[in-house]
Amino acid sequence: MSQYSRILVLLGALSMSLLFFFPMWKIYLQAPQYPEGLEMHIWVNKIAGNTEFTLQNFNILNHYIGMKPIEASSFKELEIMPIVVYVLMVFGLLAALFRNKYLVAGWLGLLAIAGTAGLVDFYLWLVDFGTNLDPNAPIKIPGMTYIPPLIGPRQLLNFHALSLPAMGSLGLAIPMILAGFAVYIEFFSGKKLNLNPSSTARRFSFGIGLGFLFGLISLTGCSPEPQPIAYGQVGCEHCKMTISDPRYGAEIVTKTGKAFFFDSIECMADYLQQQEGMQEKVAMLLVTDFNQPETLLPAEQSLYLQSEKLPSPMGMFLTAVATPEVARDFQQTYEGRLLNWSEVLQAVKSHEKQF
Beta bridge partners of 30: 160
Residue ending a domain, choose from 202, 220, 238: 220
276 — phi, psi (to 5°)? -65, 130
Q: Are residues 39 and 185 in the same domain?
A: yes
Beta bridge partners of 152: 163
pLDDT at residue 179 above 70? yes
**Domains in the chain, number:** 2
- Nearest-angstrom CA–CA distance, 253 and 218: 20
Residue ending a domain, choose from 199, 220, 241: 220
Residue at 228 is within a domain: no
pLDDT tens, residue by residue, 322-333: 989 999 999 999
pLDDT at res. 217? 46
Q: Which of 124, 45, 123 is nearest to 77 (CA)?
A: 45
pLDDT at res. 144? 67
pLDDT tens, residue by residue, 116-167: 988 898 888 888 887 888 877 777 777 667 787 888 888 776 677 888 888 8
Residue at 245 is within a domain: no
**Torsion of Cα atoms, 337 then 341 then 344 then 349, to 10°:** -160
Q: Which domain holds residue 323?
A: 250-350
Overall pTM > 0.75: no
Residue at 309 is within a domain: yes
Q: Are residues 96 and 209 in the same domain?
A: yes
Q: Are residues 54 and 108 in the same domain?
A: yes
Residue at 238 is within a domain: no
pLDDT tens, residue by residue, 197-220: 445 444 544 555 455 445 444 444
pLDDT at res. 4? 80
Q: Are residues 207 and 297 in the same domain?
A: no
- Nearest-angstrom CA–CA distance, 166 and 42: 9
Residue at 240 is within a domain: no
pLDDT at res. 192? 47
- Nearest-angstrom CA–CA distance, 140 and 69: 17
Q: What is the mean pLDDT of residues 43-63?
A: 79
Q: Is 148 exposed, middle or buried (0-12, 13-18, 19+ CB in 10 A)?
A: buried
pLDDT at res. 238? 93
Residue at 7 is within a domain: yes
State whether the Cα torsion 224-320-34-349 is positive or negative.
positive
In this structure, are residues 171 and 13 in contact, taking their beta carbons and an 8 Å threshold? no
pLDDT at res. 50? 72
Q: Are residues 194 and 254 in the same domain?
A: no
Q: Are residues 192 and 315 in the same domain?
A: no
Q: Are residues 64 and 160 in the same domain?
A: yes
User: Over the Cα atoms of the chain, what is R_g?
Assistant: 26
pLDDT tens, residue by residue, 72-119: 777 888 889 999 999 999 998 998 888 888 888 889 999 999 889 888
pLDDT at res. 143? 66
- Nearest-angstrom CA–CA distance, 273 and 58: 28
Residue at 286 is within a domain: yes
Residue at 325 is within a domain: yes
pLDDT at res. 294? 74
Which CA distances in Å does 237 have to 2, 99, 243? 59, 59, 10
Q: Are residues 180 and 44 in the same domain?
A: yes
